[in-house]
Amino acid sequence: MITKGIKQLIAQAEQRSTGISIEAAKGRIDDGKTVFVDIRDVRELEREGMIPGAFHAPRGMLEFWVDPESPYYKPVFTGDKTFILYCQADWRGVLAAAALGDMGMTNVLHLEGGFGEWRKAGAPTGPKPEKKKHG
């Protein structure tokens, strides 16, 4: 039996993370200092699209991709950029932002309302980029 449910986990993560509104985030799309990070499952990206220019980091790999000591580290997380994490409804985004904050990252925000609210607001979306074929 669990002693803490998902609502409690999210509420606690909200206390340890910072959100950004859809309107404020829209103004940061092409500022060169912000990286939007889509943490949804690849099937969600294929079905619904994503924020143009966003980097896809599946939620299950995020901490591994952020840590320079990890064999899975991704250089996109290097530097002094701000990272805006988003999922569909911002539940995973809140949890992920709190986890990265726990790792010591101070430049992480979660998109309030997630991709669902982003789309409802008429903010730009596009298809998931095709994977580059090697060969």
Across the strands, what pairs with 108?
A: 83
pLDDT at residue 61, rounded to an integer: 97
* Paired tokens of 80: 């002094």
CATH topology of domain 13-120: Oxidized Rhodanese; domain 1 (3.40.250)
Residue 130 — pLDDT band, cuts 50, 70, 90?
confident
* Cα-based torsion angle of the residue sequence 19, 10, 81, 124 in order, rounded to the nearest 10 degrees: -60
Residue 133 — pLDDT band, cuts 50, 70, 90?
low
Residue 115 — pLDDT band, cuts 50, 70, 90?
very high
CB of 118 closer than 8 Å to CB of 54: no
- In angstroms, the CA 50 to CA 84 distance is 13
- Mean pLDDT of the residues in the chain: 94
- In angstroms, the CA 80 to CA 48 distance is 30
* Paired tokens of 119: 């789309």
Residue 134, pLDDT > 70, answer no
Q: In this prediction, what percent of the chain has a pLDDT beyond 90?
A: 91
Per-residue model confidence as pLDDT tens digits over 58-103 = 999 999 999 999 999 999 998 899 999 999 999 999 999 999 999 9
Per-residue model confidence as pLDDT tens digits over 6-54 = 999 999 999 999 999 999 999 999 899 999 999 999 999 999 999 999 9
The residues spanned by each domain of the chain are 13-120
